[in-house]
A and B are shown apart, each in its own frame.
Chain A
Amino acid sequence: VTDAIDEFSYYVPPAQMAAYKSFSDVEDNGVGLIVTKRFGYAFVIAPVAGSPAAKSGIERGDFIEKIDGQPTQKMAVWQVRNLLRSGKPMHVQVLRGGQTKRDDSRSSRPRFTPSPSPRSSLAAWHTSAFRTSRKGPQRSWPPHSKTFARAALAS
């Protein structure tokens, strides 16, 4: 029934409620993958620019087939997001439009390991976003956008 509403709605069965309550649904999960579900699979709306996901070669429109070997087909989108923000290095297997063979290309099996130690401000962002998932992605509408816009226009 929820699939009939739209691709962003989902059902949480009673057995999953305990796990669901401990999950806070933030769009960005630190690895920089903004996902929804399409045709039963996790689907990449956008890899956040500069994020571990973008660096690993994941592109908009990719289907995430497996995360650490676990098929996304049986997961609700919140479970996919929950796995992605685990904070551990992970192996994400994607299926890209137009490719029929799954393991003939390096890019179809990107691995990414989020940087554990902040070296630059960007790395610091990844790490903090990854740990807490509270800080918004850089390529979005952060708080005080208006102030930034005014300052940029004034210069």
Chain B
Amino acid sequence: LIIDVRGNAAGDVEEAITSADELLTSGLITSLKGQHVEAKTWQADRNTAYDGEVEVLTDGSTASGAEIFAAAIHGNQRGKVVGVTTYGKSIVQRFVPLQSGGGVFMTVAHYTTPDLKPIKSGGLRPDVMVDMTALALRDPDKGTKAAKPREDLILQKALQLFNEQPAVKKAA
């Protein structure tokens, strides 16, 4: 099963957490930490919708709930994350009024990976990084309508990894 969360940068975090839970039978999915916010953790329950092999595709636009999902799969060794480092925006923000009459909308908490590292600036590094620079060099004309559809290097890599897996088992 390949789950593509590239370009997924918004939406309901709780839905991302329950989706990760569908693929996990144990372990920490994520936790929420902040100085003035009640700490929270989400543990996977024993029920699962699918127990086969999983890969998750990420890119620089993978943010928020999608990062939590990818981190949960990655951190619990449930499957490989393939692609590019994610954006780093799994945070909770709140408006804090000031005496002046104005206010500050600020980050007050962050979600973590299963090993309790914050998913903030810098993002989540995939298990298998796909180098996209070659593609950019090959296609300097990107963005114009005449340009050919670009190859999906990340998906190609993910499929290649799936195909390699039986061979590895045989060798073992």
- State which of B13, B89, B105 has its C-beta within 8 Å of the C-beta of A10: B105
- State which of A28, A59, A150 has its C-beta within 8 Å of the C-beta of B22: A150
Mask of A74-89 contacts with B, CB within 8 angstroms, 1/0: 0000100000000000
* Inter-subunit contact B61/A60 (CB<8 Å): yes
- State which of B21, B63, B69, B143 has its C-beta within 8 Å of the C-beta of A57: B143
* Inter-subunit contact B63/A149 (CB<8 Å): no
- State which of B63, B64, B143 has its C-beta within 8 Å of the C-beta of A105: B143
Contacts of A11 on B, CB cut-off 8 Å? 102-105
Contacts of B107 on A, CB cut-off 8 Å? 5-6, 8-9
CA distance A107 to B172 in the complex (A): 51
B169 to chain A, nearest CB (A): 24
Decide if the interface of chain B is mainly helix, strand, loop or mixed: loop
Which residues 106-124 of B have a CB within 8 angstroms of A? 106-107, 120-121
* Inter-subunit contact A153/B9 (CB<8 Å): no
- State which of B16, B18, B22, B63 has its C-beta within 8 Å of the C-beta of A46: B63
* Inter-subunit contact A136/B12 (CB<8 Å): yes
A64 at the interface (CB under 8 A from B): no
* Inter-subunit contact B144/A46 (CB<8 Å): no
A45 at the interface (CB under 8 A from B): yes
A14 at the interface (CB under 8 A from B): yes
CA distance A141 to B9 in the complex (A): 9
- State which of B49, B59, B104 has its C-beta within 8 Å of the C-beta of A9: B104
* Inter-subunit contact B120/A6 (CB<8 Å): yes
B91 at the interface (CB under 8 A from A): yes
Contacts of B101 on A, CB cut-off 8 Å? 14, 17
A140 at the interface (CB under 8 A from B): yes
CA distance A89 to B49 in the complex (A): 43
CA distance A140 to B15 in the complex (A): 10
Question: With A12-B105, A14-B102 known to touch, is A136 a contact of B19 (CB < 8 Å)?
Answer: no
Mask of B71-108 contacts with A, CB within 8 angstroms, 1/0: 00000000000000001010101010000111111110
* Inter-subunit contact A146/B91 (CB<8 Å): no
- State which of A78, A141, A142 has its C-beta within 8 Å of the C-beta of B13: A141
Which residues 128-150 of A have a CB within 8 angstroms of B? 136-137, 139-146, 149-150
* Inter-subunit contact A5/B106 (CB<8 Å): yes
Contacts of A16 on B, CB cut-off 8 Å? 102
The 8 closest A-B pairs by CB, nearest first: A140-B11, A14-B101, A107-B143, A46-B61, A141-B11, A141-B15, A27-B10, A46-B9
* Chain B residues packing against A (C-beta within 8 Å): 1, 7-13, 15-16, 18-19, 21-22, 49-50, 59-61, 63-66, 69, 87, 89, 91, 93, 95, 100-107, 120-121, 143-144
- Can you give 21 A-B contacts (C-beta < 8 A)? A5-B106, A8-B91, A8-B107, A9-B104, A10-B105, A12-B103, A12-B105, A13-B102, A14-B100, A36-B89, A45-B87, A48-B9, A96-B143, A105-B144, A106-B144, A141-B16, A145-B12, A145-B16, A146-B19, A153-B1, A153-B49
